[in-house]
A and B are shown apart, each in its own frame.
Chain A
Amino acid sequence: DAGVIQSPRHEVTEMGQEVTLRCKPISGHDYLFWYRQTMMRGLELLIYFNNNVPIDDSGMPEDRFSAKMPNASFSTLKIQPSEPRDSAVYFCASSSRLAGASDTQYFGPGTRLTVL
């Protein structure tokens, strides 16, 4: 398996622009998580899905952030409009709750976002 795939790996944009981050979870995993990581705040959970349904979005900073999971193999995190304080590394992770599986989360390589 290729693991969790994220794109793009790096994104540089200007304040006010729309940014879309993409994630393909590991095939067969029924949980998908979006995190944001900064030096100041560490790893923060933004939102997570179970079977494509958003379960907890209490970590989403504000209405400028939205996430979708239209099917089991694809999710997006959108920021509109973007602001400099959104600059961070955004990680997607997936896990499985199937019988016998642990709650180990498998992380993608991350998207480094810079908003100028």
Chain B
Amino acid sequence: TQLLEQSPQFLSIQEGENLTVYCNSSSVFSSLQWYRQEPGEGPVLLVTVVTGGEVKKLKRLTFQFGDARKDSSLHITAAQPGDTGLYLCAGGNNNAGNMLTFGGGTRLMVKP
């Protein structure tokens, strides 16, 4: 069974601070996706990384896939209250169809 562990589970910071969320596994994944979920809604895809060592940037968000494709990180620069939400990482495996393994999530609160 493939497992993804996210840390921290909860994070409360002030507007303007930087933060990093981690997603770790002992298993190799074909791809790693990050989703954000806002209250009352379903998760929405932010980014997909597929190559070991890959770095993708989405405005103030930087995503990195580990060289061995077992871990990933999400870094937010100058966090804003609009970044508040639940961040989920999800690993994909070409041998498992379109099934994804989701991490437990990081609940982020950015205070104005």
CB of A64 closer than 8 Å to a CB of B: no
CB of B33 closer than 8 Å to a CB of A: yes
Beyond A42-B104, A43-B88, whether A107 also contacts B99 by CB under 8 A is no
| Contact call A43/B97, Cβ cutoff below 8 A | no
* A72-B80 Cα distance, complex, nearest whole Å: 40
| Dominant SS among interface residues on chain A | strand
Chain B residues with CB under 8 Å of A55's CB are 97, 99
Beyond A31-B97, A97-B98, whether A104 also contacts B45 by CB under 8 A is yes
| Contact call B104/A95, Cβ cutoff below 8 A | no
* A71-B102 Cα distance, complex, nearest whole Å: 27
B67-112 contacts to A, CB under 8 A, are: 88, 90, 92, 97-100, 102-105
B40-82 contacts to A, CB under 8 A, are: 40-45, 48
Beyond A42-B104, A42-B105, A43-B105, whether A110 also contacts B42 by CB under 8 A is yes
Chain B residue total in the interface (Cβ 8 A):
20
| Contact call B42/A108, Cβ cutoff below 8 A | yes
| Contact call A102/B48, Cβ cutoff below 8 A | yes
| Contact call A50/B97, Cβ cutoff below 8 A | yes
Whole-angstrom distance from the CB of B34 to the nearest CB of chain A?
A: 11
With both beta carbons as reference points, the residue of chain B lying nearest to A101 in the complex is identified as B98
Chain B residues with CB under 8 Å of A4's CB are 42
CB of A56 closer than 8 Å to a CB of B: yes
CB of A45 closer than 8 Å to a CB of B: yes
CB of B25 closer than 8 Å to a CB of A: no
| Contact call B102/A43, Cβ cutoff below 8 A | yes
State the 5 A-B residue pairs at the shortest beta-carbon distance, nearest first. Answer: A107-B42, A103-B98, A31-B98, A42-B104, A95-B98
4 extra interface residue pairs, beta carbon distance < 8 Å, beyond A31-B97, A42-B102, A110-B41: A31-B98, A42-B103, A43-B88, A45-B102
B-side interface residues toward A, CB under 8 Å?
31, 33, 40-45, 48, 88, 90, 92, 97-100, 102-105
A-side interface residues toward B, CB under 8 Å?
4, 31, 33, 42-43, 45, 48, 50, 55-56, 91, 93, 95-97, 102-110
